[in-house]
Amino acid sequence: MADASDVIAAEPGFGEAQLSDILHFLRSWASNPLRVGAVAASGETLARLITQEIDGSAGAVIELGPGTGVFTRSLLARGVAEDNLTLIEYGDEFLPRLKRRFPKARVLQMDASRLRKAHLFEEPSVGAAVSGLPLLSMSPRKQTAILAGVFAYLRPGASLYQFTYGPRCPVPRRILDRLGLKAVRVGGTVRNIPPAAVYRISRRRPFDFTPSAE
């Protein structure tokens, strides 16, 4: 039976850089499994799925938890300009690699739950957000803070794309309702370890996501 590295290596275009990313990701997971939240870096198929509705017309894009940059590369392939990317990464083990690979992007080390207080943009002008964060392992309070922070910067009509390994949206219905949001499953893939699904989270009704002045 093939092991995880054999399956991932079957991805189109797999090479030494991807293998290096996998080993780096596994070391990071082993040192802090709750924060990293997965036993393998996301694959190219999932990256294409989570970015399929985003292109260069989005303008500014926020990525939460870029890790080794798999989704980031897919965003660039979709036409998003590198200098329009804001990458929010908490793990200091990923930061040097992200800064080296994406020198024109804004790479920030911070807890995504503090987004709303970070004043990253002067107005809601971001065209899309992509999240690789392990929301299922987070408390409802932290999930709420992350979503409120993201939507403080998203312009009207823009969405957050979140993947999950679970059978349903990782954000509970009560949190979506509280923030006036809705979640729609846009697809899934079994060519990922583990298999994953992607949800589009968008506004359902007006809500004051204005960044806190605190």
Residue 207 pLDDT greater than 50, yes or no: yes
In tens, the pLDDT along 117-134 reads: 999 999 999 999 999 999
The closest alpha carbon to 171, from 160, 161, 183, belongs to 183
Q: Can you tell me the distance from the alpha carbon of 106 to that of 83, in angstroms, rounded to the nearest whole number?
A: 7
Please state the pTM of the whole predicted model: 0.81
Question: What are the φ and ψ backbone dihedral angles of 191, each rounded to 5 degrees?
Answer: -90, 45
Give the side-chain half-sphere CA count within 13 A for 57: 4
SS3 label, residue 95: helix
The sheet with strand 85-89 has its strands ordered as 106-109, 85-89, 61-64, 126-131, 154-164, 196-203, 181-189
What's the pLDDT at 3? 34
In tens, the pLDDT along 92-119 reads: 899 999 999 999 999 999 999 999 999 9
In tens, the pLDDT along 147-173 reads: 999 999 999 999 999 999 999 999 999
Any idea what DSSP says for residue 212? P
Q: Can you tell me the distance from the alpha carbon of 112 to that of 90, in angstroms, rounded to the nearest whole number?
A: 8
